[in-house]
Every structure is written in structure tokens, then in C-alpha cells.
Amino acid sequence: MQARRIDVAALEDPVEALFDRGWTDGLPVVPPTEARVLRMLEGTTRSPQDVVAVVPPDLVECTVEKAAINAVMAGCLPEYFPVVLTALEAICTDQFNMHGVLATTMSVGPIFVINGPITERIGMNSGVNVLGHGNRANSTIGRAVQLIVRNLGGGAPGGIDRATLGHMGKQGFCFAEAPSAWTSLAQEEGFTAQQNTVTAFAGEGPRLLFDQQSRSPESLVRMLADGLRSTVSSRMVMGIDAMLVLSPEHLSRFIDAGWDRSRFLTELSELLIIDADDIIVGAHGIDEGIPTGFAGLQLPKFRPGGLLIVHAGGSAGLFSAIIGGWVNGNTGSDPVTKEIQL
């Protein structure tokens, strides 16, 4: 290992020493001792000096060793480390545009969805409180990536991270998709159910979509569409993507009625056609809006492929969640799915 050694005085508290140096995300981190980092490196077959990615905003080459140090600090176990490395690779691409995700004043951060057998093997949560806290793998994988961006890439809040509000998911937002009768997010991206993948998405915090009374798919899809229309802004169309997290009970409304993912998306998309006259500048007394040149048109809320569907959550509860995205396409950030190299 080649990293600089830092001697901590006998009477100094290592945890406080790490705070003092500005190397934490506001929560205590695990002191990265040689023994702990060596154990982390056992989680991958890659050489410690291999370069994993060039990390924005300072465009620093991150070696496996530097990633391992930050993964220790985040609280990862070695078996999570391949997921951390792939998640880092995913955000350090032109497609994901991590520099822009950091620098924007919008409240977005990298969100990671994990698919494949590795989720069960490393004990990830795809069930109760899936978008919340309480599971070590979920809580620390995304955190490790964010610590690398901060400590190695130089992307700290108040510096290059200019979010006006931010959200607590920027501490590290990672969860597993639950298997279902529908194809998974990774399968939609061309991977098999047996491949382990990370999907990175630039997103805000999750918002609940409440519907406890719909028993038919026709009713529930209308209610979901109603909630999705205001994703990020009711006046914004096509320019942002979103991730819809369908809970098991909501998903069962569609599966029990014989709807597959494709039909669901078709029906939902038809309900998400927006009358431009309602959202142009000045409509209904609101100055925010799309240019008046769009008047008279019918516009889709999301671009083709711009709504990512994920199945996760506890087995009881008639709620789903929407995670709004950021500027999409070449001018912003596109979701990235990569296979995890064990």
C-alpha cells in the first residue's frame, strides 16, 4: 500500500482526528488503519494500484487502494467492495456527469440500484424500509462512493457541491431491487437476472405516492400518473427523468390483472401526456413554464425511456415512491448501468 501514513498521537481520538481533517461527511467514520484497509482489499481481485476511475471535480485518478481506504471509513465490509468499485466507475463517466450533479444547485445526488444474486449474498435490503436506514450494505456502499468524491475528488458541500437544499440521501443512497414477475431494471438495460449490476441515477429524495383504495390496475395507474405529473415541477416535461419505486402491493394490482411491465408503461405514458397550454409561461397566473411557442401541443411528461421502474419495499403497504431526477441527456446526466466485476 502506498498511501501516506498518518500517525495519531496516543492521547488523540482517531475519530476526532478524522473530523478535524475534514474527511467525514458529518457522521463519524471508521479509522482506516492498515489492517482494516488490507481486509477491504481482500474483497476484490484487483491490484491495489489499479486505477478505478478518474474522479470529478478535481479529476483525480482513484486507485483500488484509495477506494478501499474510503470504503473502510464508510463502514463497508470487504464483500461490498466490488459493488463500491462499480458504483464509482458508473458515476465517473461522461454519461453520468458527476461534476454537473455536484455543481448544480438542484437537490440531487447519485442513487444506486443493485440487481443480481450479489444483493442476497451481501445481505442487502430490498424489503421493509428499503429507501431508509438500518441495513449495513445499503447504508455504506453509497456512502463510500460519496466519501471518495469528497476526499479524493474534492467535491464537498459548500465547495463544488452547490446544492441549495440537498437531501439526506446524499449521505449515501443505495438499495437492492426485489425480484418480481416483471423484468428488473437491469434486465430492461439488457442484462440477465444472473448478472450483478449497479445502476446509477442522479436523483432527489423519494416522495410517497399514496393510494390505498384502488383495486383495479386501471384505477391505480391513473392515481400514479396523477402523482407523477408534478415530479420535480408540474411545469417541466421531457427534460428530467424519474425513478418509480413500485411496492409489492401496488405491483400486485397489475400482475394479478395480467399486466406486464410493457403494458403498464404504455398505459402510464398515455396518462402522462400533458396539455402544453396548461404549463406554458403565464398559464394559470404562474410565470414559471415552458416557452409559449409550445402552445397547442400535447407533450409527454417523460422522454422515451425516461421513467425507470424498480420493484422494492415491504410486503404490506399500498404506497409507491417517485424519485425525481435532474437534467437529462447530453446536457445533463443519463442513468448508467454496469456489471459488477467480482
Q: Which residue has the cell 471518495?
A: 148
Per DSSP bridges, beta strands 307-311 and 206-210 are unpaired
Cβ atoms of 198 and 96 within 8 Å: the answer is no
DSSP string, 275-297: EGGGTBTTGGG-S-SB-GGGTT-
Distance CA 321, CA 205 (A): 10
Considering the complex, what minimum distance in angstroms separates the CB of residue 7 from other proteins? 6
Closer Cβ to other proteins, 17 or 271, answer by number: 17
DSSP three-state, residue 76:
coil
3-state secondary structure of 219: helix
Least distance CB 70 / other proteins (angstroms): 5
**Cα–Cα distance list, 148 to 63, 69, 190, 213 (Å):** 11, 9, 29, 44
Measured CA to CA, the distance from residue 205 to residue 221 in angstroms comes to: 22
Closest separation between CB of residue 32 and other proteins, Å?
5
**Judged by CB, which is closer to other proteins: 41, or 122?**
41
Identity of the residue, 313 or 324, whose beta carbon is nearer to other proteins in the bound complex: 324
CB 202, CB 141: distance < 8 Å: no
Whichever of 18 and 131 has its CB closer to other proteins, that residue is 18
- Sites of contact with other proteins (CB under 8 A): 1, 3-8, 10-12, 14, 17-18, 23, 31-34, 37, 58, 60, 65-66, 69-70, 73, 97, 99-100, 104, 147, 151-154, 326-327, 330-333
To other proteins, the closest distance from the beta carbon of 294 in angstroms equals: 14
Nearer to other proteins, 289 or 313 (CB): 289
Measured from the CB of residue 104, what is the shortest distance to other proteins in angstroms? 7
Decide whether 60 or 238 has the Cβ nearer to other proteins: 60
Among 239, 243, 137, smallest CA distance to 199 is for 243
Question: What type of residue is 178?
Answer: A
Report the C-alpha gap between 329 and 244 in whole angstroms.
19
Give the distance, in angstroms, between the CA of residue 143 and the centroid of all CA atoms in the same chain: 11
Of 153 and 217, nearer to other proteins (C-beta) is 153
Q: CB of 319: closest distance to other proteins in angstroms?
A: 32
Tracing cell 410517497 back to the chain, one arrives at 208
Grid cell 401526456 is found at 273
- The minimum distance between CB 331 and other proteins, in angstroms, equals 4
Query: In whole angstroms, how close is the CB of 201 to other proteins at the nearest point?
Result: 15
12 vs 120 by CB, closer to other proteins:
12
Element (H, E) at 102: helix 98-103
Q: For residue 246, give the nearest of 274, 272, 220, 226 by alpha carbon.
A: 220
95 vs 341 by CB, closer to other proteins: 95
Residue 273 CB, nearest approach to other proteins (Å): 25
Q: Do you know the residue count of the chain?
A: 342
Rounded Cα–Cα distance for residues 28 and 175 (Å): 22
